[in-house]
């Protein structure tokens, strides 16, 4: 066995990134402890899109059937003129090797936590990490005794307390704010609709149980409130979309409670580790949510890290290999999400041209959308290891 097998690994944060990494690492034979600040595992009340690249990891972990029980399989994405309500195009999302799913975040957290525990991971809630000593692997908590580990993963999100030990990259406001809401009693086709308006857009998609997930985004020059999100009067959201199509306004009228998020991110650092400490998920590479990739990229991270630990001769090499394999991929996805901010928010003549172009792609070459997204959705981190498969000859993850 190499020096990186059966490590004692601590993960700070039991979000989607920390739990899926914990699952992959426990399956690979490591001793995993996950420390979560919140008193109980929970997620914000909102939906999530798991795209085929994230699904590839879950499929190889054997979670496909469990996911299908709590998810809706998406059939298409429909860019829509948010002012007139006219459908601009309909791009198929089904037909690939792995499904594209809509589900509730809380359902995914429950499923991942159960699978991680079954694989032997220990999840400790109500345990906030305060600091770490990367050279020794000591983890220091807000309360209680420090613990020592061979590897510490900072999966503590965009506001990571451990990231400053690795990089100076600080999160900054992106000039975009988002409202989120879940509507009850709405039956909708299994499609994501992107309602585009000048400087704004709304994404809606169904969740199991007759619910509809809604995210509305607008450009805004500053972020005044303290903190990252706050309760918001739905009337303010409705006022921002007062010129929207009647169908969209009818949905917005049904919102009883919403929260407003300032969207923040930082650059992806060059180095992802120092000593025994490494970054994962939003702590490493936060993205605008306009390509539904933040959680999917975090899920990919966990698998790649587990494989890198299997493949490399020592911890430093494994963590270097992990960052080397992840860096270009997450940078490309983040840039594409950033470009969507522009594509969705066009106004004036460029808006008409963009809508015509989307419609033309749909009519003339409907497969072109799938082909254009293949680098993202068709990427399967569980299979793209030719060199490493030769090195190890097997994988214990499956």
Residue 134 C-beta: closest distance to ligand FAD, Å:
16
Q: Are 86 and 77 in contact (CB under 8 A)?
A: no
Task: Give the integer Cα–Cα distance in Å for 143 and 145.
Answer: 7
Residue 314 C-beta: closest distance to ligand FAD, Å:
26
* Residue closer to ligand FAD (CB basis): 27 or 163: 163
Task: Give the integer Cα–Cα distance in Å for 239 and 46.
Answer: 22
User: Nearest 5°: phi and psi at 157?
Assistant: 80, -175
* Residue closer to ligand FAD (CB basis): 39 or 348: 39
Residue 306 C-beta: closest distance to ligand FAD, Å:
16
Residue 128 C-beta: closest distance to ligand FAD, Å:
4
- Beta strand 147-148 pairing with 258-265: unpaired
Query: Given CA atoms 145, 151, 157, 160 in this order, what sign does their dihedral have?
Result: positive
Beta-sheet strands, E only, within the chain: 8-12, 31-35, 47-50, 71-73, 76-81, 91-92, 101-104, 122-124, 129-133, 138-141, 147-148, 151-154, 172-184, 191-197, 200-207, 211-219, 229-232, 258-265, 273-274, 277-279
* Residue closer to ligand FAD (CB basis): 207 or 318: 207
Binding region for ligand FAD (CB under 6 A): 12-18, 35-38, 48-49, 128-129, 155-157, 161, 178, 180, 215, 261, 281-282, 289, 292-296, 298
* Residue closer to ligand FAD (CB basis): 108 or 311: 108
Q: Are 164 and 289 in contact (CB under 8 A)?
A: no
Residue 16 C-beta: closest distance to ligand FAD, Å:
5
Q: Are 308 and 301 in contact (CB under 8 A)?
A: no
Residue 385 C-beta: closest distance to ligand FAD, Å:
22
* Residue closer to ligand FAD (CB basis): 304 or 311: 304
- Tokens representing 270 are 């060059």
* Residue closer to ligand FAD (CB basis): 232 or 282: 282
Residue 232 C-beta: closest distance to ligand FAD, Å:
13
* Residue closer to ligand FAD (CB basis): 17 or 275: 17
Other beta carbons less than 10 A from residue 335's beta carbon: 11
């Amino acid at each position: 066995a190499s020096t990186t097998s059966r490590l004692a690994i601590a993960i700070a944060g039991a979000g989607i990134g920390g739990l899926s990494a914990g699952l992959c690492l426990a399956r690979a034979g490591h001793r995993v402890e996950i420390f979560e600040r919140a008193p109980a595992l929970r997620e914000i009340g909102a939906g999530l899109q798991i795209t085929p690249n994230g699904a590839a990891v879950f499929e190889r972990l054997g979670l496909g059937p469990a996911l299908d029980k709590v998810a809706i399989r998406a059939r298409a994405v429909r860019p829509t003129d948010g002012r007139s309500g006219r459908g601009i195009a309909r791009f198929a999302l089904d037909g690939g090797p792995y499904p594209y799913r809509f589900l509730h975040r809380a359902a995914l957290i429950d499923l991942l936590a159960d699978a991680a525990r079954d694989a032997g991971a220990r999840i400790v809630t109500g345990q906030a990490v305060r600091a770490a000593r990367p050279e020794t692997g000591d983890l220091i908590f807000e309360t209680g005794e420090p613990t020592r580990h061979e590897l510490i993963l900072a999966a503590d999100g965009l506001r990571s307390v451990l990231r400053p030990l690795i990089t100076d990259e600080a999160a900054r406001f992106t000039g975009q704010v988002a409202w989120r809401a879940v509507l009850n009693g709405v039956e909708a086709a299994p499609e994501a609709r992107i309602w585009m308006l000048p400087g704004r857009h709304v994404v809606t998609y169904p969740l199991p149980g007759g619910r509809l997930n809604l995210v509305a985004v607008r450009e805004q020059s500053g972020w005044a409130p303290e903190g990252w999100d706050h309760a918001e009067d739905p009337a303010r959201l409705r006022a921002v979309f007062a010129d929207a199509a009647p169908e969209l306004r009818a949905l917005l009228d049904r919102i009883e409670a919403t929260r407003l998020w300032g969207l923040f991110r930082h650059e992806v650092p060059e180095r992802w580790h120092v000593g025994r400490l490494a970054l994962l998920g939003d702590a490493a590479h936060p993205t605008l949510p306009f390509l539904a990739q933040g959680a999917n990229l975090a899920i990919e991270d966990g698998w790649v890290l587990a494989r890198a630990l299997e493949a490399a001769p020592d911890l430093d090499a494994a963590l270097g290999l992990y960052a080397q394999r992840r860096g270009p991929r997450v940078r490309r996805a983040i840039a594409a999400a950033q470009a969507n901010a522009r594509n969705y928010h066009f106004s004036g003549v460029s808006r008409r041209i963009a809508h015509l172009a989307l419609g033309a792609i749909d009519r003339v070459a409907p497969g072109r959308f799938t082909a254009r997204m293949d680098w993202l959705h068709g990427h399967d981190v569980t299979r793209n290891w030719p060199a490493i498969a030769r090195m190890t000859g097997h994988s214990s993850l499956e």
